A and B are shown apart, each in its own frame.
Chain A
Amino acid sequence: MRRDIFQAIADPTRRAIIALIAVQAMTPNALAARFETSRQAISKHLRILAECELITQEQKGREIYYVLEIEKMKEIDEWLEQYRKIWETRYSQLDELLSTMRKQEKEK
């Protein structure tokens, strides 16, 4: 099943995980130590993030580290930014129109 990337980052714990591993790659144990929830719960969050390809695993010696996939994060930001831009353009056009209409009203 394909995971919805936006669902993935809707969860506050998953957002916190992302924020942590954005700073540095971390092992599952080190991550779990930062949260009060169970190790199992953190594993589940990590699995969801991995399924969304937001994070990947890297083997370093004996340990597995989780690494943030920055490109994937950028994708989300990019399309939201485009949507914002559409509204910004639309509304600057409306600002202009309203100002023209007000001038015309005064002239009447």
Chain B
Amino acid sequence: MQMDFIVDKQAKTVSIVKDFAAGLDLVWDAYTRAELLDQWWAPKPWMSRTKVLDFRVGGRRFYAMVSPEGDERWAIQKYTSITPKTNFKLFNAFADEHENPELPGSEWDLNFSEQDGTTKVSVSIHNESLERMERMIEMGFKEGTMMQLKNLEELLKSLQ
């Protein structure tokens, strides 16, 4: 199903909206249980390896993205608010392998809703600086994902 990717540069927010052909319970689990998250979170050929996942307010997910060469990029997602099967919020920060965060991080707001067996998930990511997001990409995804550039006309259309 179609994914919407909306960049609001003024608000320094990226929103990703997606419908899934599955019920809310299943989708909620896929976002909140380590053994499920690890199966889809990392874009192949990267792997997601969750070391800790304590899904409660004040709890955290501490995980690594592992490259095919075995390089690890650690991150902490601290849960700041949870409304079961409706919404949760987290604070995301890069970290080292000893769980020392690198600030600033980004604030994530995830919304879930189901209609006729389809579950809509809307993830909104607010960054203090969009340049930080640029770094996020440099930190491990550059290889293999070099994209063809859209032509300028298309870009300008999206900026207007």
Contacts and interface: CB of A to CB of B under 8 A. Distances in A.
Contacts, number: 103
Contacts of A43: none
Interface of B is mostly: mixed
Nearest to B149: A74
Contacts of B150: 77, 81
B82 interface: no
A70 B153 CA distance: 11
Given A6-B131, A86-B145, A95 B137 contact: no
Interface of A is mostly: helix
A25 interface: no
7 contacts: A4-B129, A7-B9, A10-B9, A18-B159, A95-B20, A97-B36, A97-B40
Interface of B: 1, 3, 5, 7, 9-10, 12, 14, 16, 18, 20-22, 26-27, 30, 36, 39-44, 129-131, 133-134, 136-137, 141-142, 145-147, 149-150, 152, 155-156, 159-160
